[in-house]
Every structure is written in C-alpha cells, then in structure tokens.
Amino acid sequence: MNPVSHLLTGWVVANTADLTTRDRVLVTLAGVVPDIDGLGVVVEILTEHTSSPLLWYSRYHHVLCHNLGFGILLAVTVALLAVRRWMTTFLALVVFHLHLLGDLVGSRGPDDYQWPIPYLSPFSDRWKLIWTGQWELNAWPNLLITTLLLAATISIAWKKGRS
C-alpha cells in the first residue's frame, strides 16, 4: 500500500480517541514510518548503472522496519513522547499493524514480487508473511480504500476542525 494511504489510516485512527495534537501526530506518523526502509530507493536508482550498485531498496524495503522489533522500538518511542501514553501507544501499535496488513494484502509489484514481511525479525526468521491473494499496489481495492480514507479525513476536518 502506498505511504499516502498509510498516513491517512494513521490520521483516521488517531481521531478515534480524545488525544492531544501531539499524540495524534505520533499515531499518524506511526502509520507511515515503517516505510522509511524504502528510502534506499534513491540510492539504488542513483547507483544502478555503476560498477557497484547499492541495492538498498531491494534488500531492505519491508525488512528493516516492517517487523516486531521495529514495532517495539516504535512503541517505546511513542510512549516516551506521548501525553496520553497508554492510549497513544496502543493506537500507534494498531496503525503499525494496519500498515503491515495493508502491505500484506495490497503491495504486489508489477513484476509480481510480493514483498514478504519478516514479522518476527530480528528475533526469529520464521513467519515471513505472504498472502497469495495479494493485489497490485495500484489495484482498485487500494484506490477504494484510499478514497474512503480521504472521505473520512474530510469528514473529520468538517466535524472536528482538524486537518
């Protein structure tokens, strides 16, 4: 699933509880921050035609930050920064796992690669999650989900004055 959908998911979930602005930002960012392990795409593109290409995207996307170890690190960070610690940390973990679920169901690449999620990493190599029904990143279910999230975001802005 694309980062915009993850961001909107975080924002919508963050508005399900009575949180401060800071806590809503933390929950929202928790929904998208696992994709920082995809920033290696810049380095990979810049070096792909060199004698020593750096395959940081191919090797590390869905590996470094899409796992339980990163989820724990994220939860501790949110707990340290949040005002309403327990609720904010709980919702951050919810959106983190919704991120993993979204990637699991809707992130197949044009080359049919399914980006397995090593959920128990770095504690274990077991549970590399793949769903055989996974749809492509630009498939209609992702567009529908993103449209619904956008509608929910507009509704929140209308009713609560937050955007």
CA 35 to centroid of chain Cα atoms: 6
At residue 123, what is the residue type? Answer: F
User: Which range of residues in 31-39, 75-83, 90-98, 147-155 is near Zn ion by CB under 5 A?
Assistant: 31-39
* Among candidate residues 72, 88, 74, the one with its CA nearest the CA of residue 23: 88
Number of residues that bind Zn ion (CB under 5 A): 3
User: Which range of residues in 26-34, 39-47, 108-116, 147-155 is near Zn ion by CB under 5 A?
Assistant: 26-34
- Tell me the angle at which helices 3-14 and 85-106 cross, rounded to the nearest 10 degrees: 150
Is residue 103 a contact residue for Zn ion (CB under 5 A)?
Answer: yes
- Tell me the angle at which helices 140-160 and 85-106 cross, rounded to the nearest 10 degrees: 150
Pick one of 5, 35, 95, 106: the residue that binds Zn ion (CB under 5 A).
35
List, in sequence order, every residue forming a beta bridge with 92; answer none if it has no partner. Answer: none
Is residue 37 a contact residue for Zn ion (CB under 5 A)?
Answer: no
Largest CA distance in the chain: 56
Q: Considering beta carbons, is residue 2 or 84 the nearer one to Zn ion?
A: 2
Q: Considering beta carbons, is residue 34 or 71 the nearer one to Zn ion?
A: 34
Q: Considering beta carbons, is residue 19 or 37 the nearer one to Zn ion?
A: 37
At residue 125, what is the residue type? Answer: D
Closest distance to Zn ion from the beta carbon of 20 (Å): 26
Q: Considering beta carbons, is residue 23 or 103 the nearer one to Zn ion?
A: 103
Q: Considering beta carbons, is residue 44 or 103 the nearer one to Zn ion?
A: 103
* Among candidate residues 115, 96, 78, 101, the one with its CA nearest the CA of residue 31: 96
Q: Where does this chain bind Zn ion (CB under 5 A)?
A: 34-35, 103
